[in-house]
Amino acid sequence: MVADTLSRKNARIRSELQAKLGLNGRTLEQQASKVGRSLPRAVIRDLRAVVRADVAQGNPRLARMADTAATGRCADRVLAHLSGIDRGALRQTRILRKLAAWSAAGIAVFVVVIWVLRVQGRI
């Protein structure tokens, strides 16, 4: 029963990682390895705990040693965070950051050009 609940939560985490962050992978472990810096540290720590429990489910001795209550709480925290992610807001933030970088580079180039013209005495 507990393993069934954890496997359901793992499946939901896998589908949320795919839907919200676009992470593909055959297993939860592969998807978790691709997270990088897109999630906060605490969520990544909880996700790693869920992955360890998922891997332990394959071995009966390790499965008995796993703390299912703590793993369930970790899975709930990961799911709560992933359900709060808005993909449109992420896209908008990414676009705005690129525009800010381009405008900063443009301002820097403009300042350098003005400085060069001033040094040459053309201004």
Residues 46 and 33 reside in one and the same domain:
yes
Yes or no: say if 81 and 39 are a contact pair by the CB < 8 Å rule.
yes
Looking at the structure, tell me whether residues 39 and 80 fall in a common domain: yes
Is the domain of 76 the same as that of 100? Answer: no
The radius of gyration of the chain from alpha carbons, rounded to an integer in Å, stands at 23
What is the CB neighbour count within 10 angstroms for residue 23? 18
User: Is the distance from CB of 73 to CB of 22 less than 8 angstroms?
Assistant: no
pLDDT, tens only, 74-110: 999 999 999 999 999 999 999 999 999 999 999 999 9
Average pLDDT, the chain: 92
Q: Are residues 69 and 92 in the same domain?
A: no
10 and 60 together in one domain: yes
Q: Are residues 56 and 94 in the same domain?
A: no
69/90 same-domain check:
no
Closest by alpha carbon to 46, among 16, 7, 85, 76?
Answer: 76
Q: Quick check: pTM over 0.75?
A: yes
Query: How many structural domains is the chain composed of?
Result: 2
State how far the Cα of 100 lies from the Cα of 86, in Å rounded to an integer. Answer: 21
Statement to judge: residues 72 and 55 lie in one domain: yes
Domain with 28, as residue range(s), is: 2-85
**Can you read off the two tokens belonging to residue 110?**
């403009």
Q: At what angle do helices 2-16 and 68-83 cross, to 10 degrees?
A: 20
